[in-house]
Chains A and B, each alone.
Chain A
Amino acid sequence: MRSAAAFTLVEILASILLFSMGVMGIIAVIAHGLSTASRAQSEATAWATASAVLKDPLPMGCEADATTGDLRRWTWSKSGATWTATEAGGSGEVVWRYTTWATNTSADILHPDMGDPKANNPAVFPPSGAPSAGCASGWLNGYYVERREQSRAADRIGDGVRLVEVRVDVYWAGYVGSDGRPLASLVDRYIRQDAP
């Protein structure tokens, strides 16, 4: 007849180890589920963000004042053809850039990666510099956003009227600088017309 009546040290340690692994496993499952849910839920605002920037390359971005929490609109400035927005809180951080282009130009306004863009392509969005004509990038609604607008000379309908193609890609903030795929992408065409 077996006379053992208690756990050994090894058994205790093994039990603790198994318990810890179980807890960690549960946490990992929860974290993974949360990440998936977060991504799925955020796709709604990512798409809405893309939809907004598609029509408006100069969005009314704001940040919360660090002291009062009040919304303060970005501070805009224009140098040459490029609009630049900085946070109004004094940090001076650039949060948005957009380079306009002349609708009546006879030249093509094309971007090499329009069909398969990569985030932060330095050929289109040079670091700390002006984006290519018709392009905008920046931070909005917690996402990193890139907007490309192109038009061929043959797309000119008349003076100051031409067909343009616009593409907006919205990225998770953590994917910027990596090879991450956009969370939402929108491509549309519309007619741009200058003021008479």
Chain B
Amino acid sequence: MRRPSSGMTLIEILVASALGVLVIALTWTTFTRAKATVNRATARVNLHQSAAVLQDAFERDFGNLAPALAMFVVSAPAATATTRSEDVSVVFMRSVAPLDKQATQGVNDRYLADHMWVRWRYSRSWELIDGTWKVTASALKRSSSSPMRLWNTNNTLTVSPAVIDPKGGASKGNYGGTQWLNLPRPLRDASGGLASLDFNRYGLPATAISADTPVGDIGDLADLDANEQIASTQILDFQFGWLRADGGAEAADGRNPAVHNIDGLYMDVVGPDNGRYLDARQDPVASPPGAVLQVAQPQYDYRPVLGARPRLVRIAFRLKDQATQVDQVFSFSIPVPGQMPPVDQPSP
């Protein structure tokens, strides 16, 4: 006759408990490791996804870079005894679809610009804490010009001569009491540096603090400041490079000071009128000579300008997931329009 079941003996309980603890410990360890693996893999996926988004944005901007217009690359580090900062800015004009109704304003729709300034800017700040330099902020930011800037004024405004003509010119009088409109202005002459973007400003002095609250106009550079948005906070470092049309290679990293003011293609007549006109005059003394579009005028040899223009931009950055400490370095190369004539094979 079978003994009525009445539970486990002490030995059985001990064995079952020991095995249970062992299995649960193994399961828990496996689960913990799997969770860590999943977290790292998820973080890596997120980094790649973020990189893909950034690459797509880079390609849309640099793939539409206007070859005839000025471009600026500025690397500006700064330091005090207890702080350091790195800053690299890339500013250029890109073409946009003129039918994009990004700022529908009724009758003024037709004034939407088809070229806008774009700025990519990476900045990083350091602070000396307990004897150790630590990164306190790091961000990649992007801004683009407002499609148009509108405001009203009841005051008599004095128009800067630079608004009428970057090389000087007569003021066009009093426009008080009217509605004003301004668009981002293309530049081919980069010699004025990045600050020359603000020459395109009506109503001096400008007291506006943003494009949304204008009192008078703001310049194109101030407009970029007003429209700046953070593109990535996962970024820990950034380098921008470009391959020149003459085969040379340049780079800016924010740690070493550098200013590159790159003229637009087809800079025109030399002399006092240089930079005034927006046509495409050729160099008659080049060998072989270009077409002479204006007889008996001194022409500009555009070849040095052409050689300094970028035909390929190279962007490297490092993304890091702070929770898992997973990081990945990315590097992308993007051809820009207008790289002619083609030159020798690239150098690193």
Report which A residues bind B (CB closer than 8 A).
Answer: 3-9, 12-13, 16-17, 19-20, 23-24, 27, 30-31, 34-35, 37-38, 41-42, 44-45, 48-49, 52-53, 55-64, 69-71, 73-74, 76, 83, 85, 100, 103, 140-142, 191-196
Contact = CB atoms under 8 A, between A and B. Distances in A.
Contact of A38 (B41, B52, B344): B41
A61 to B, nearest CB: 5
B341 A38 contact: no
B324 interface: no
20 contacts: A13-B16, A19-B27, A20-B27, A27-B34, A30-B34, A30-B38, A31-B34, A31-B38, A53-B333, A57-B345, A60-B331, A60-B333, A61-B316, A62-B316, A69-B320, A69-B327, A70-B237, A103-B345, A193-B342, A196-B343
Interface string B313-345: 011111010000001111111110000011111
A41 B34 contact: no
A52 B332 CA distance: 5
Given A6-B5, A16-B20, A63-B329, A41 B348 contact: no
A60 B42 CA distance: 27
Interface stretch (B71-79, B180-188, B218-226, B245-253): B245-253
Given A55-B335, A56-B346, A71 B316 contact: yes
Nearest to A39: B45
A5 B348 contact: no
Contacts of B59: 48
B330 A45 contact: yes
B209 to A, nearest CB: 35
Nearest to B23: A16
Contacts of B42: 34
A60 B314 contact: yes
B135 to A, nearest CB: 8
B246 A195 contact: yes
B38 A141 contact: no
A60 B241 contact: yes
B330 A5 contact: no
Q: Classify the secondary structure of A's interface with B.
A: mixed
B312 interface: yes
B232 interface: no
Contacts of B334: 52, 55
B51 interface: yes
A63 B238 CA distance: 11
B330 A141 contact: yes
B112 interface: no
Contacts of A85: 348
A196 B70 CA distance: 25
B106 interface: no
Interface string B18-53: 011001001100110010011001101100110110
A9 B16 CA distance: 6
Contact of A45 (B52, B236, B238): B52
A63 B239 CA distance: 11
B128 interface: no
A193 B342 CA distance: 5
B6 A7 contact: no
Contact of A12 (B16, B45, B335): B16
